[in-house]
């Protein structure tokens, strides 16, 4: 009997089995939508063959030429439900992963690495693999940035038009979603800092889209503070950010207009001397 066992062990050591691609795409531990800063586990199950191989993990982000190797963060365990026979070496690899906004539209791939397998490109990330669909990661809107075209400190009533634009990022994106329950942009106006906000649409000679406000045939009645408010909503929570810009409009340039802060900052002073 001992002789037979010894022969069997030798046979097992000489027996080789080619590993196989993962059984399925990596599975997420969260069934609902994913959100920035959440921690999630991805699992990948595969037969690593004999001699045993290993499972690799790769993160593909948009606009990145090469993937990020996440293999060292993963943990491999034997498949407790499998049948560990001579021809099987089934393991489950678990990848803990903290989501970032840059992971929106990313893909996570798991590969099987074994000496009997090869990569068509020679790169380890292209060993037999399965990968997720593109991830959809929700993230809250950021504080918007406001720009003016033309850009000036003071505008004369002779100015034909002034465009105020608002930019932000978020998912859902308030500038592109058609569902106001998911994202919305609202423009507000007030005459001065101690006034109450009103909808900017009440300002005369104004055109408004989500992304911009266009003031036409500038007049002093259009001067004031314009606020871009952006919001989005996911997983039952609303996120809101606001930015504002002061628009100064004068009726004549017959006088020197000097702003104390402009002097301190050595900014442009406009004058017209007759």
5-30: per-residue pLDDT in tens?
333 344 455 678 999 999 999 989 88
Helix boundaries (H) for the chain: 2-14, 260-264
CB-CB contact of 101 with 139 (8 Å): yes
So what's the pLDDT on residue 81?
Answer: 62
User: Would you call 202 helix, strand, or coil by DSSP?
Assistant: helix
Banded pLDDT at 253 (limits 50, 70, 90): low
Of the pLDDT bands very low, low, confident and very high (cuts 50, 70, 90), residue 200 is: very high
Task: Decide: 38 and 237 in contact? Cβ < 8 Å.
Answer: no
Average the pLDDT over 79-87 and give the result: 61
| Residue-level pLDDT at 120 | 94
Average pLDDT over residues 179-205: 95
64-73 average pLDDT score: 96
The two three-digit tokens of residue 158, written as one number = 């002779």
User: What is the rounded CA–CA span in Å between residue 19 and residue 51?
Assistant: 9
Q: 234, 236, 230: which is closest to 99 by C-alpha?
A: 234
For domain 2-138, give the fold.
Immunoglobulin-like (2.60.40)
Cα–Cα distances (Å) from 81 to 85, 92, 102, 273, in that order, read: 12, 11, 36, 90
Location of each CATH 2.60.40.10 domain in the chain:
2-138, 145-264
**Residue showing tokens 């009726």:** 251
Classified by CATH at the fold level, domain 145-264 comes out as Immunoglobulin-like (2.60.40)
- Reduce the DSSP state of residue 147 to 3 states and report it: strand
CA distance 181 to 231: 9
Question: What gap in Å lies between CA 150 and CA 270, rounded to an integer?
Answer: 15
> Distance between CA 142 and CA 48 in Å, rounded?
44
Confidence of residue 263 (pLDDT cuts 50, 70, 90): very low
Q: What are phi and psi of 71, to 5 degrees?
A: -55, -40
CA dihedral 93, 98, 101, 107 (to 10 degrees): 0
Rounded average pLDDT over 163-181: 96
CA contacts within 13 A on the Cβ side of 269: 14
pLDDT at 228 over 60: yes
Instruction: Evaluate if residue 31 carries a pLDDT over 50.
Output: yes
Give the mean model confidence (pLDDT) for residues 73-91. Answer: 77
3-state helix, strand, coil in the chain (%, to 5): 10, 40, 50
């Amino acid at each position: 009997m001992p002789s037979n066992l010894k022969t069997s062990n030798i046979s097992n050591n000489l027996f080789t089995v080619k590993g196989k691609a993962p059984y399925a795409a990596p599975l997420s531990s969260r069934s609902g939508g994913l959100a920035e800063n959440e921690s999630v586990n991805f699992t990948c199950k595969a037969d690593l063959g004999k001699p045993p191989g290993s499972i690799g993990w790769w993160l593909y982000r948009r606009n990145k030429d090469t993937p990020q190797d996440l293999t060292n963060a993963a943990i491999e365990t034997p498949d407790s439900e499998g049948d560990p026979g001579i021809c099987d070496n089934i393991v489950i690899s678990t990848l803990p992963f903290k989501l970032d906004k840059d992971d929106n539209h990313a893909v996570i791939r798991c590969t099987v690495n074994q000496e009997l397998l090869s990569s068509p490109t020679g790169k380890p990330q292209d060993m037999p693999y399965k990968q997720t669909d593109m991830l959809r990661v929700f993230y809250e809107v950021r504080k918007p940035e406001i720009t003016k075209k033309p850009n000036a400190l003071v505008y004369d009533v002779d100015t034909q038009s002034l465009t105020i634009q608002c930019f932000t990022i978020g998912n859902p994106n308030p500038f592109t979603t058609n569902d106001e329950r998911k994202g919305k942009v609202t423009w507000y106006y007030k005459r001065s800092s101690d006034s109450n906000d009103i909808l900017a649409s009440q300002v005369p000679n104004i055109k408004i889209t989500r992304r911009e406000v266009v003031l036409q045939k500038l007049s002093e009645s259009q001067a004031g503070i314009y606020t871009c408010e952006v919001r989005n909503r996911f997983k039952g929570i609303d996120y809101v950010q606001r930015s504002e810009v002061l628009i100064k409009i004068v009726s004549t340039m017959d006088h020197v207009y000097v702003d104390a802060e402009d002097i301190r900052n050595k900014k442009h002073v406009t004058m017209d001397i007759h």
